[in-house]
Amino acid sequence: MRRTKPEKRTVEPDLRYNNTNVQVLINHVLIQGKKSTATRIVYDALDIVEDKTKKNAAEVLDTAFKNVGPVMEVRPRRVGGATYQVPMEVEPDRKLTLAIRWILGATRSRAGKSFAEKLSAEILDAANNQGSAIKKKEETHKMAEANRAFSHFRF
């Protein structure tokens, strides 16, 4: 196990929306170090979201992250030779990371179109409490609910 926890890195807000969540999304879309390509994709997707909703795209994105982020999750805990799935609350940083990961996973599994169009569609679905990312959150909550009997094995 680690002796100390690593320090949290601070993320600077992006240039267009001045929002750190948009910058974190850009960093997660990033593949093979092509930051300019990732930035263009995310901004194109947010432009599509803005056209369809007539609202600020950063606010819609924050709503999507809030809707997809899980409240509870299960974590394995080894007790006396048996491994139990213990339900625990999710910390805010992990909640955002999971939300982004699930939205991008659902985006990549969509068929056809450009990545920006798929990402905008998934953000809109998440903001409206629909889609694959919301399904993933509900599965996580069901798993935590099913293992509620092991909640006394806290870390």
Domain ranges for the chain: 20-77+84-153
Contact (CB, 8 A) for 68 and 99 = yes
d(CA 105, CA 149): 31
Contact (CB, 8 A) for 21 and 28 = no
Contact (CB, 8 A) for 121 and 90 = no
Output the pLDDT for position 137: 96
pTM exceeding the 0.85 threshold for the entire prediction: yes
Output the pLDDT for position 69: 96
Name 56's Cβ contacts closer than 8 Å, sequence gap at least 6.
Answer: 50
CATH classification (class only), 20-77+84-153 = mainly alpha
d(CA 63, CA 4): 34
Per-residue pLDDT of the chain (155 residues; tens, 9 = 90+): 789 999 989 999 999 999 999 999 999 999 999 999 999 999 999 999 999 999 999 999 999 999 999 999 999 998 889 999 999 999 999 999 999 999 999 999 999 889 999 999 999 999 999 999 999 999 999 999 999 888 888 76
Output the pLDDT for position 55: 93
Q: Alpha-carbon Rg of the chain, whole angstroms?
A: 18
> Which of 102, 116, 113 lies closest to 48, judged by CA?
116
Output the pLDDT for position 79: 87
